[in-house]
């Protein structure tokens, strides 16, 4: 049975322990390597392994010393966070528009590369 690129990727995450360990230890490098896309922007990526019996709580970033806390609170409380694939098979929580577009570029590059390899 031939699977689409997303299914192949998910199966690899589940079945390839070496790849999974690499992704957990350096998720930014692995995602950029897989996609062939290396953004110039400075950002970090964290990988959190899902557990069937665990709820993951994402804490908001602390405000900068010179930041207006009330303004920041209004901004984050009114934002709809971009959550992709949150159905129990992994996903992304993207806290702002700049990172949303970086991730979308990485994922688009990955999709093109995965399709070409299929």
CB 91 within 8 A of CB 85: yes
Convert the pLDDT of each residue in 78-89 to its tens digit: 655 555 544 445
Q: From the CB of residue 102, how many other CB atoms can be counted at a distance below 10 Å?
A: 18
Cα separation, 113 vs 118, in Å, equals 9
Distance CA 91, CA 38 (A): 20
Q: Average pLDDT of the chain? A: 80
- pLDDT of res. 86: 46
Q: Please determine, for residue 54, whether its predicted confidence score (pLDDT) is greater than 60.
A: yes
Q: What is the DSSP string of 30-81?
A: HHHHHHT----S----------TT----PPPPPPPTTS-HHHHHHHHHH---
Residue 83, pLDDT score? 52
The pTM is what? Answer: 0.67
What digits encode the pLDDT tens for the residues 17-51? 999 999 999 999 998 998 999 888 888 999 888 78
Instruction: Give the residue from 104, 81, 93, 84 showing the smallest Cα distance to 56.
Output: 93
Q: What is the enclosing helix (H) or strand (E) of 114?
A: helix 97-117
């Amino acid at each position: 049975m031939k699977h689409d690129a997303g299914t192949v990727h998910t199966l690899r995450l589940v079945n390839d322990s070496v790849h999974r360990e690499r992704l957990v230890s350096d998720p930014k490098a692995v995602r950029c390597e897989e996609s062939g896309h290396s953004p110039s922007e400075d950002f970090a990526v964290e990988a959190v392994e899902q557990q069937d019996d665990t709820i993951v709580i994402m804490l908001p970033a602390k405000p900068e010393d010179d930041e207006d806390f009330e303004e920041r609170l209004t901004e984050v409380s009114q934002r709809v966070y971009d959550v992709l694939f949150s159905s129990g098979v992994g996903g992304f929580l993207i806290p702002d528009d700049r990172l949303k577009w970086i991730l979308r570029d990485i994922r688009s590059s990955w999709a093109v590369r995965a399709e070409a390899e299929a």
